[in-house]
Structure formats: structure tokens, C-alpha cells
Chains A and B, each alone.
Chain A
Amino acid sequence: MAAMSHSQIDAAGLSVELRRGGQGAPLIVIHGELGMPGWLDSFARLSEQYDVIVPSLPGYGRSTRPDWIMGVHDLAAWVTWFARDLDIRTPANVIGCSLGGWVAAELATVAPQFFNKLVLVGAMGIKPDRGEIFDYFLDSGPTGLRRAFYRPEESAEYARFWGRDWTPEEADLVEQHREMTCRIAWKPYMHSLTLRHLLAGVRTPTLLVWGREDAITPLRVGEIYAQAIPRARLATIEQCGHMPEMEKPDEFTALVRNFFGP
């Protein structure tokens, strides 16, 4: 398995926490509102084939938080700046998870040249016409994390990162991520009123990956994305919650490999 480097670098105006491993075509991962707890098993597998690049977004993990970032568009623009600073060859393959899926979708509407292919996983950004996006802020950090899994107690990744007593630093990190998410996605909560309309202009081949039992972003959101983006396909994973990249690494990496190709 390819080695992963975990470093703190200066890029795109910030000090950025970066995890990167593997060789091949670049694959940029934009993480979600729960941050990136480590080098996921699914990333390790994908790094056998791709150069997997996982920055912590501004205000998440150990990346610094500039006060001027107040919205998803700011994050989207920042991602392009980051890619330029790292000389990442574009168009690139991109995976956006949850809030990061919303960031990637917004980016696809304004910067199609950035993308080769796009995978959106349990993406935020659209208000479903049935059901609602789970409101993390009426409940605790631990509750939200558990809810993001269909069966947290059966997930090796949940056990590895969150399924034990947290150190004070780990608890602080969860709160830091919640605060940063508040700063950018408080109102309208976790969705845009324009994105759905703009997606019709996206030509990027897009794979939507959804856990059938996603209790954070209802599967209905994936269906709306699939209808809105002309070259999109929706793939669902059974007995899986909001984070297929953690809960079902086998199915997730197979879908992604198959879609991105060699």
C-alpha cells in the first residue's frame, strides 16, 4: 500500500493540514462538515491507483481559519487556489463528501475546466422536497457523528476514529468543526437557493454516491442532483449511512475506481 504523508504546508494564504498518498492521476478529496479524522481506509486503497490529495479545509483540522471565509463559495474558490499553489494538474478527478460535495458542486457550476470527473457523496447544497437535512446544531457533536453512520458500532472506521472516549483535544476538534460549519452554512441551512438551477449547465461526468440509509442528507437530495446534472448517475449503497467512504470502504472504492477508471 502506498505511503501517506501527513504535513502542514503553507498554501492558498493559509497554513494547511494536508494528507497525501499514492501515485497516478491526481484525485482531490473535499471533506465534509465533520472534518477529516485521518487517512481513511478507502483513501489508502485509492492511493494504490491515484495521487490522493486530502487537505483540511480552512477552519477544519489543523488548517487555520481566516475570518473572511463566510460561505460555501469562499471555500470553492479557495480549493482552486490551493490546487494552483500545489501545481495539481487539472482537469482533475474530485470527490466531494457532504458539505464538501456542495463545495464541489458549486465549483463545477463556475469552473468546469477544473474537473475531469466528479463524485458527490451524500452531498449537501440542495433542499429536498421530501424530508429534511438533519440539523446538527440542535444536537450534540457525538450525536451527529453517530447519526452519520447506519450502524456505527459495526463500522471499523467509526471505531478507529470516534468510537471510544475522546481526549479533550479530540472533543475540541469536533466543536471546532461544528463552529466552522456554522460560520459557512447556518442560513439557509446546508443548502443554496440557486445551486439546483445552475447544475443544469454542468457538463462534468458526475457520479452520485449515497448511503440508502443516509439520515443526514436524505437520499432524495441525491435523486434531485441526478435529475439536475445532465451527465450524472446515482449509485446507492445498501445498509449504509451518510458516510459511505467510512462505513462501506469496499463498495465505495469499487464504485469510485470503476467511475474514474485507470
Chain B
Amino acid sequence: MTRQFFYFSEMGYNAYPLEAAEKYGYTSLMFPNSIFEPEKARDLWQMFLREHEHASAMGFDGSVCNEHHNNVLSMQESVNISAAVISQRIKGTIALIGNPLPIHDNPVRVAEEIAMLDLISGGRIISGFVRGTGVEQLSTNANPAYNRERFEEAFELIKKTWTVPGPFRWEGKHYHLRVVNPWQLPLQKPHPPIWAAGILSPETIRWAAKQRITYLVLGSALNATAACRDIYHEVARQDGWQPEARHLGYLIHTCVMDTDDEAYEMGKHHYGGASVIGRRGGAAASALTAGTGSAGVTSGGPHPEWMAPPGYMSKQAKTGDMAKERRTSEGSYEEAVRAGLIVTGSPKTVIQKFKHIIDRTDPGYLTFWAREGKKPHAATMRGIELLGREVIPALREHQSALVTGKEVTPWPQ
């Protein structure tokens, strides 16, 4: 498979007054929606959609959309609505990263909506599934203690809905349906590609490897992403198969401008430290939220208890090797850039950085998180153009050192 390059933006509501965030100390779950201004959101939507169109026109293979609730982090409260709209504005693939399965009481509805998307888009859908953050569980009243059970059962039900002729009956632990027999089924067979996306939860990586589906690393530093790949490959080796590049996706903060200096400055919009909340003296709010708050003003302030309500995270996920990896990715903006948590630079610099990243991780899908926070529209459009016109063409031909056995491209000094 040829490596594919996608564009991503959380499409966050960046128009709230920073003083409000400072006053409350968080920008999610209980951040009062009286602060929300519909007219500003309307304008933001149009700007974000133009940026997606631009990425498509500049040569990106597709766009990635997402879902969050009660949060300035993202205005996408339904990933399927985002995907429906974007599918009509771009030519390429639309990857959903994705539907937070545990928050749904009827997973067949999710299967139906994705089938509709696949049909309407002419088979351009990648269906990612996620557990959702802690805030998603609290804002939708999904029991966090059964999050993983619900995720896995919903996944099985959706996959069966797409692959086993109906009608059939489902009597599970969390889901009970008399008749599963949705009229519309996906165009892609046996079903659209399925991804699992996560922030370094080792159980999810192992589960994805067991299912032989793509694991998408969300915005983590390079060492942590390499460690994810190792876990995935180890599980596959034990099961007697060899993963391909398409089994790993990597979504990474990227800020390209004409010069290194300009990109470095503009890249600060991707960093929580640029916001007035979320970090105190460069430290993450807690070990639980470490590694999850690298984005700019729109994700600057998770409340630690809300990110990990009881039972949502295993003890292993909180304290294991991956938790350490998360913590190593924390720190100042300079450290975040050095650790590859945020990739900045001129096209020449960024091409070399991504060659290094590809050499170390060989992701089949590389997603550039290329707009964040209050980054100006013009700078975002210019960055998209440089990525599409210069960076992506240079990377398409680059074979990973993991495949060729050649030396790893050095990280630029």
C-alpha cells in the first residue's frame, strides 16, 4: 500500500474569552455554555470547512474528523455529521477517528450512519472507533466502569451488522436488540476499513492487534509511538502474522511555514503551554492527563478527575511503561518540539523530520494535525499549501528504514 497523507483539525471553538478559562480552570464538561456564541461558531465552521477543501485541492489524500462533547476542544459533537459534510467538500478519503462506541446505547444506529456515509461518499469512508475520553463518558452518562466492555461488545455488534445477513437477534451484556436488520449496508466490502484510535492505552493497542485493525496513535511523541508499534508487532508475532504499514496510523501536530523561525513561532498555537490554563509552570495537570494536553487553547484545560473517571483507565494504563512515555513527552514547548510531539519547520526541515519519523515507525497513514488553537486562517492555509505541494510529494517516495534496512534519517539539528 502507498502511504497516505491526511489533514486533521479538531475544529475547536477558539473564540471563548481566555479570562473565562482562567476563572474556571477548565474548558470542558462544566465550562458554562452561556459563554458559547453561535454567530462566532457559524463563522468558524465555514473557515474550518474551507481549510478542509484547501487540503484536498493541495493534494492531501483525505481528511480526518472527530467527535468530542461538552468541550471547546472540538465543535464536532457528531463525527458522522462532520464526515457527511466534509465528504461533500473534498475529493479523497474521510477517516472518522471516530465514533465513541461506549456512549451509544444502540450501536446499530452507528452502523447505519456509517453505511449511509459510505454510500453517499461512494466508498470513501474509514471507520474509526474510540472509547471516548473520560469527559465523553460523563457528558453522555455512559458508565466509565463498563467503558471497555461496551466498546468491545459494540464493535462486535457493528461488525456483525455489516457482515452477517440480517435479520438476527443480539442479546449481549450491554446491548439487547430484538431485530438487527438495517436496510442499508456499506458499499465497501466486507466493510469500510476499521481503525481504533487511542492515546497510548496498551490494552487498546493489544486489542487492535488481536483484531488485525489499524491502530491510530493520537498526537503522541515519537518514542511513545514507536513503543506502540512494538507492542502491536509483538502481539501479531505471538499470533503468527506480520503487520503491514497500513496497520499503524500516526496523527501528529504539524506546523509548516516558509521558514523554520516562522513555523516555530506559529507552532506555539499547537501547544497547551501557550494557553493560560492546563499547565502550571510547564507541568501537566496530573499524571493522568499528561500527554493528552499538547494542543493549543482549545484543549488547554482538562480537569484530571473528568479525564479519568472511576474504572475508565486500568491501573496498568495509569502506571505502566506507556504512562512513563506520556510523562516524558511533557514539558516546555521547546521540549515538545524536540521530542517530536509537535513537528515544526520549513518544508525542507519538516521533510527531514518526517523521513526520520517514517524511518522509525513506518505508518501507513500519516495525519497532519495542521490547524489548532488561534492559528490565523491565512497561516493555516499557507501551511496546508506547503504540506500539499512540497512535503507530501517528497515523502511519498520515501521508504521506511524499517523496510529497507538503511540508516535512519537523522533528526535535523
Contacts and interface: CB of A to CB of B under 8 A. Distances in A.
Interface of A: 137-140, 172, 175, 178-183, 186-187
Overall SS of chain A's interface: helix
B310 A187 contact: no
Contact of B305 (A139, A181, A186): A139
22 contacts: A137-B138, A137-B144, A137-B309, A138-B30, A138-B305, A139-B305, A140-B305, A175-B310, A178-B310, A178-B311, A179-B311, A181-B310, A182-B143, A182-B145, A182-B309, A182-B311, A183-B143, A183-B311, A186-B141, A186-B145, A187-B141, A187-B143
Contacts of B145: 179-180, 182-183, 186
Interface residues of B, number: 15
Contacts of B304: 140
B315 interface: yes
Nearest to A180: B145
Contacts of A179: 145, 310-311
B310 A137 contact: yes
- B141, B305, B309, B310 pick with most chain A CB within 10 angstroms: B310
Contact of B144 (A139, A140, A180, A182): A182
A144 to B, nearest CB: 10
Contacts of A175: 310
Contacts of B143: 182-183, 186-187
Contacts of B141: 186-187
Interface string B123-147: 0000000000000001001011110
B310 A172 contact: no
Nearest to B306: A138
- A140, A181, A182, A187 pick with most chain B CB within 10 angstroms: A182
Nearest to B313: A175
A107 B315 CA distance: 34
Contacts of A182: 143-145, 309-311
Interface in B301-320: 304-306, 309-311, 315
A60 B262 CA distance: 56
B307 to A, nearest CB: 12
A181 B143 CA distance: 11
Contacts of B309: 137, 182
Given A138-B29, A178-B311, A182-B310, 9 more contacts: A137-B144, A138-B30, A138-B138, A138-B306, A140-B305, A182-B309, A183-B143, A183-B145, A183-B146
Ranked 7 nearest A-B pairs via Cβ: A178-B310, A179-B311, A182-B145, A186-B143, A179-B310, A183-B145, A182-B310
Interface in B29-51: 29-30
A180 B310 CA distance: 8
B99 to A, nearest CB: 21
B136 to A, nearest CB: 14
Contacts of A139: 305
Contacts of A137: 138, 144, 305, 309-310
Contacts of B305: 137-140
B324 to A, nearest CB: 15
A195 to B, nearest CB: 20
A25 to B, nearest CB: 37
B325 to A, nearest CB: 20
A54 B393 CA distance: 70
Contacts of B306: 138
